[in-house]
Structure 1
């Protein structure tokens, strides 16, 4: 109890100082927890947990996200689970949708409240990995006594936000550890794994959403994830990840107005009818290994017509 009391006093002193929040993200979160949400760092845990029926209904509405996240959750837990850590995926409100822990630690994390259906928003638990990540919309690590509530200081949490194919925040990916031997160095390594896993979820989520489109990798910002574009059969961009929207100035609205890929990528003037015909001719020739007669058959035209169209497209003399 002495350690809890000392922690509560430290939190309240920081909140009352009114200055620490300007230089520390953790202190700013402590201030939000106390002043905006009216929480007490020494208070008992609230019984904030969804009934099984409520959680089932919530999960049913998140099927696309959960399907996209499953491989990354499996891989991440396979890496960190052996060290006694648990892996959590919450929704944007901090409700735990998936909680994975080893058999030896299940009771411990159940007692802490890191279980399916529990609520870990800042408004409920104060400063914590899941809730603070969702508020700040960036990767965070909340280590032990950086938590607002004294009851949570035995846990270290490493989190990264997850954004959907339209660039909206939809989840937080969390790895939490209650092992005392997990220090700052271990936390740093786990934090990197969590960020990579969150980006993998976003990539798979995007590819699932646009499974019938061509996916173009248009660069990658360090630490922010891939810049992906979804392109339809007419070479129009119909989807873009959050990073791609920012990079190409495509806006943040849920609906993306289709735009020619060449325009988005800044690759020259608008194409004319002749460009489209030349593309069709080149593709047919590529499929037939450059054989004009075979390419003509693919297109359903005669060989002479094929030659005339090739000459008009400026392709005469390039193939046999």
Structure 2
């Protein structure tokens, strides 16, 4: 499916990998992994490997409820980019799309390219590509046309953002791919913003579902960590103990599985960072005030709505200066 001579593309990659660019470019570093670590060749024209129906079912089952959790975000994302000839994929941590959105008229093109459920897009199998490289590097990125390792994939533009589970482990990725040659740089940037937003929404919803009895609050960090702090979520139980933290919150507050296994008072944790403490208190105050308004000021009803005892809510009201 490549749009340029396979030999020229292979020569370009070989030259880049052996030249100075290898130390400066993340894409060239991925090309180097593709050749040296995985033993792949750019001009191999075979399409991606496909899982059997049984293997695909098992891959979907391993993701559990995430596929259902991601449905709304995927639908919203497709409604924004589908009209521009893009398809939307949800891939597991092994680089296998397990769910898909696309226009029926484009199905033949995308199916031929391997942008289909059950295809294996790991970097180990396909070299540098959106899904595989985003998973390998655990970051959002775009692999645009001839940045792909394989010549047959150089007609594609793929923008991907990883999804991390409630313990901060790599879980899946959301991909928007296009085979259009007129995709502008500006539109690719808009797609990138939409993909990252969709991944954050799925992460946040998955985090909330993982702690159904806890209050979920956002930890505010420094200005340097603003982007990272957008999904810095903390789960707090009725005793004000931290029982969970998202990947962003772990990075922001220095949390690990080990530290979260011990009773960790939310106030003590956030007291390590004055800015975070103020942000946490402001978020908590805002939530409590909204619930109290819904409960017409009835503390007992408000406490029940938030899943805590009346005594716990009274302590919070006193601490936050709301009594």
Alpha carbon RMSD of aligned pairs, Å?
2.7
Q: Secondary structure at the match of 1:98?
A: strand
Identify which of 236, 244, 247 aligns with 2:241: 236
Comparing 57-66 with 79-88, greater Cα deviation is found at 57-66
Aligned residues: 279
The Cα shift of 1:172 comes to 1.5
Q: Does 1:157 align with 2:158?
A: yes
Work out which structure has the larger RCO, using CA pairs closer than 8 Å and 6 or more positions apart in sequence.
2
Residues 250 and 256, structure 1, Cα contact 8 Å, conserved in 2: no
Q: Does 1:195 align with 2:199?
A: no
Query: Unmatched 5+ residue regions in structure 2?
Result: 275-291, 301-308, 311-317
Query: Unmatched 5+ residue regions in structure 1?
Result: 269-282, 290-297, 300-313
Q: Secondary structure at the match of 1:259?
A: coil
Identify which of 256, 262, 268 aligns with 1:257: 262
Q: Give the TM-score, by structure 2 length.
A: 0.80
Q: Pairwise mapping of residues 206-225 of structure 1 onto structure 2 (< 5 A)?
A: 206-219=207-220, 221-224=225-228, 225=230
Q: Secondary structure at the match of 1:191?
A: helix
Q: Pairwise mapping of residues 23-34 of structure 1 onto structure 2 (< 5 A)?
A: 23-34=24-35
Residues 75 and 101, structure 2, Cα contact 8 Å, conserved in 1: no
Q: Residues 200-239 of structure 1: CA distance to partner in whole angstroms, max 9, x if unpaired?
A: 1110110111121111122264333321111111111101
The Cα shift of 1:251 comes to 1.5
Residues 48 and 125, structure 2, Cα contact 8 Å, conserved in 1: no
- Structure having the higher helix fraction is 2
Q: Give the TM-score, by structure 1 length.
A: 0.81
Distance 1:47 1:262, change over 3 A: closer
Residues 90 and 172, structure 1, Cα contact 8 Å, conserved in 2: yes
Q: Secondary structure at the match of 2:255?
A: coil
User: Which position in structure 2 is the counterpart of 1:65?
Assistant: 66
Distance 1:254 1:263, change over 3 A: closer
Identify which of 14, 17, 25 aligns with 1:15: 17
Residues 161 and 174, structure 2, Cα contact 8 Å, conserved in 1: yes
Distance 1:207 1:288, change over 3 A: closer
Distance 1:40 1:227, change over 3 A: same
The Cα shift of 1:38 comes to 0.6
Residues 76 and 193, structure 1, Cα contact 8 Å, conserved in 2: yes
Q: Residues 278-308 of structure 1: CA distance to partner in whole angstroms, max 9, x if unpaired?
A: xxxxx9xx6369xxxxxxxx98xxxxxxxxx
The runs of at least 4 consecutive aligned structure 1 residues that moved more than 6 Å come to: none
